[in-house]
Amino acid sequence: MNDEFDVLDSSPTFDIKAFLFKALSYWKLFIICVGIGVFIVYQQNIRKQQSFRLATKISIEDDKNPLFTSNTNLTFNYGGVSGKVQTLINTLQSRSLHEQVVDNLKFYVTYLKQSRFRKDDIYKAAPFRFIPDSSGYQLLNSPIKVSFINSTDIELEFDFKSETVSTQKYSDFQSKVVDVPIGVITKRVVLGDYLDLPYLKGYFELVKGSQPKLGETYFLRMEAFDAVVAQYRNRLAINNPRNSAIINLSMVDHNTKKIEDYLNETVRVVTKEQLARKNLFVTNTIKFIDSQLSRVKDSLTGNADALNNYRSKNGIYNLDQESELLSTKLSDLELQRDDVNRKKAYYSSLKKYLLTSKDFTDLPAPSVAGIDDGNILANISKINTLSVQKAKFESTVKPGASIFDDLNSQIESIKLVLLENISSATIGIDRELSVINGKIGSVRGQFNKLPQDQQNLLDIERQYLLNEKTYNLFLSKRGEADIIKAATVSDILWIDPAKNTGAQPIDLKLSSRYMFALFGGILPPLLLAFLVVFLDTKIHNPQILENISTIPLLGVVGKNTLDNNLAVHIKPKSAVAEAFRAIRSSLQYMYRQHDTNSTKTVMVTSSVSGEGKTFCSINIATVFALSGKKTVLVGLDLRKPKIFGDFDIQNDIGAVNYLIGQKTLDEVIQNTKVNNLDVITSGPIPPNPSELLISEKMDELMEQLKTQYDYIILDTPPVGLVADALELLEYADASLYVVRQDYSKKEMLTLINDKYRKGEIKNISFLYNGYDQKGKYGYGYGYGYGYGYGAYGNGYHEEEKKNTSFTKKIIAFLNPFK
């Protein structure tokens, strides 16, 4: 039992039942809070502009050019589908892409229309368009009111709040501050005419097929280009499910048509860019071929003129068969030498390019120079792929990121391998060139035996044929590159363009928001009830008393509604009177249990003043006296005497006079209007009350009273304030500790609980005073102590006068805490 008491005393539990009833008592506050919440949500709903989400889907394919063969090696692989997906995601996140999309759609120009609470973006629903002059400065972030005067004229209204405004030129995006007059300025403009203002340049045009109403007003607003780009760049959501070849693009906006156009234009721009990047190798090759064709063409033209002039001048038009054979053989050898020299020159330029350049995206195709070394072809493709990736990351990733170190490391390692490949290939070419030069020398020995005029003609004719073959070779490569470029398709497959097919608002449904208002209105009163109950240390019902102490509860007394403490005497049939009769029965049962057949002494005390100790003492004494027992009520609260006023007697003499030897017992005893009940008041307040209560005269007083009375009721001081009551415990057969509802605090019982647990106090019981069934937490608590809570109890409560005035009811409603 002691262990149980320790646990209960040190670990108070939260009263769920009290919390629920406390919350219910705030029903008025619930209504007020819910009403406020519903009102706020209603105001938000009528002002809320709904947002929508649209999406588009693209797929990355590893498309090969259908005209690609081993002999037309003018393309290279970007690293497979996974590499393309990552590159495309980086492109979609890049600022440059969004700049191009915003510029194409002119999204820095916004068309608005005034609604009830805001200006809504109506985009293409506006009946007019403003075409800004990209070379002129345009007013930023200040709505311009546009009103239709007639079918050809509009009126512009500028409302300047300050002396300067910000402007921007959309050609190079330079900004400038322009001075303006403060106030409202109007300007009449003819549709189609050029408008030239310091802060607005361009012209307005009517959308084809639109018929604006006269007097109808709209608003035009232009925004800073970079701000618009950043806004849409941040709003574009990119999703690559499970690292597949599928990319989902989505965007949220108030205007669905605007989302459609932005998403679709984004796909078009990125497709075009990806195709251009895919053809980069071919494009560079075509540029290289064109430069070679230009050079060879000039030489070929010069050779043709020289050949014709020589034939005309010397009259030699045909060569003999031997000369033709030698010329053909020498031309073939020189053509072979030219091919080998072209390879050697390519390797030389490639080596120089690798050693001096940091960007390897401008390399021409090796096949143009006739390079067929598999290692070199593969490594050029790899280094080009990595360089393209690096260039793309530079526009999306912060400089100094670890990914650049990784790419540079890979490029550097491939470059070293490629340089070794070039060195080995150059050695082989030098050997091949030496062999060809030897053959050419041998043929030239035979060629030198011919007549001089034929030798000269053969030299000119051979040079012409050599340039012609070279020109035809490059021309063939040029045509091959054009065909491949024309046949190349983008790797981006547009699966599902963005389209509004009945998009639903993604914001919380307006009707659902009222549920949140309901919960939001319920929460504050619940929280308040929780805090009140959690922080409340007072005792509000007998159950709490039983939970915090193992001292038994003897009885429960209702709330006294009289101005006098003589509740039992004045209303003997009331519920309060019945409660004291139940206490009397319990005390008599207790006496029989302890074999107390002589005079019974009951001590009544409490923790502090105000808990109804005197009220209980008077009425306990009254019920004993009404039972025909000779009873005396002794006022021993020497510091704060009270009991005399209710009996209409004087406190001039009392227990103090007896204890100091001034008066005899008969002189201090006073009769009352209650039969069989006498009272000994405390008398004048002494300077040493504690010493008097422990004096021998106190023993004499108790002994004499026991010879004259059946019951002695001691009204003692509060034990929580002074120690006097503890000194009187030795005289009591039973002690009653009064606890008052909604007044006594839990911590006040610590002292009495501790003494009871240690066994220093015995035969003590709690008396619960001031019980109100409709009290603090509004719920009843049944006990078998004779206190009726049924019809009898209700009858008691019905005796109370209730204030039913309309004003009182209104005040009570507006004050839910009362």
- Strands in 246-253's sheet, in edge-to-edge order, are 237-239, 246-253, 52-60, 492-496
Q: What is the pLDDT of residue 638?
A: 86
Sign of the CA dihedral with 413 first, then 416, 422, and 425 last: negative
Residues with Cβ within 8 Å of 605's Cβ and at least 6 positions away in sequence, in order, are 613, 716, 717, 718, 719, 725, 735, 736, 737, 738
296: Cα within 13 Å, side-chain hemisphere: 21
pLDDT of amino acid 6: 39
Mean pLDDT by 10 residues, the chain (818 residues): 38 70 86 89 77 88 50 43 74 91 94 87 91 92 92 92 93 92 93 93 91 88 94 92 86 91 93 77 72 72 66 54 65 77 79 72 60 77 74 65 78 84 84 82 64 60 68 74 70 85 73 80 88 83 86 90 87 90 87 72 89 92 92 90 85 90 92 92 88 88 92 87 73 91 88 87 89 59 40 40 48 47
Cα–Cα dist 388/504, whole Å: 41
Q: In Å, what is the CA distance from 55 to each residue of 93, 248, 355?
A: 16, 7, 47
Determine the pLDDT at residue 804. 47
- Tokens linked to 502: 């009945």
From 200, 70, 88, 219, select the one nearest 144 (Cα to Cα): 219
Give residue 814's pLDDT. 45
Q: In this predicted structure, what is the pLDDT of residue 157?
A: 93
Q: DSSP of 714-773, one letter per residue?
A: EE---TTT-SHHHHTGGG-SEEEEEEETTTSBGGGGHHHHHHHHHTSS-SEEEEEEEE-T
Alpha-carbon span 362 to 345, nearest angstrom = 17
pLDDT at residue number 509: 65
pLDDT at 713: 94
CA neighbor of 240 nearest in space, from 53, 60, 500, 402: 60
The pLDDT value given to residue 556: 92
What pLDDT does 416 receive?
A: 85
Determine the pLDDT at residue 802: 47
Q: Which domains does the chain have, with CATH numbers?
A: 2-48+508-535 (no CATH), 109-223 (no CATH), 542-814 (3.40.50.300)
CB 30 within 8 A of CB 521: yes
Q: Roughly what angle, to the nearest 10 degrees, separates helices 256-278 and 80-93? A: 130
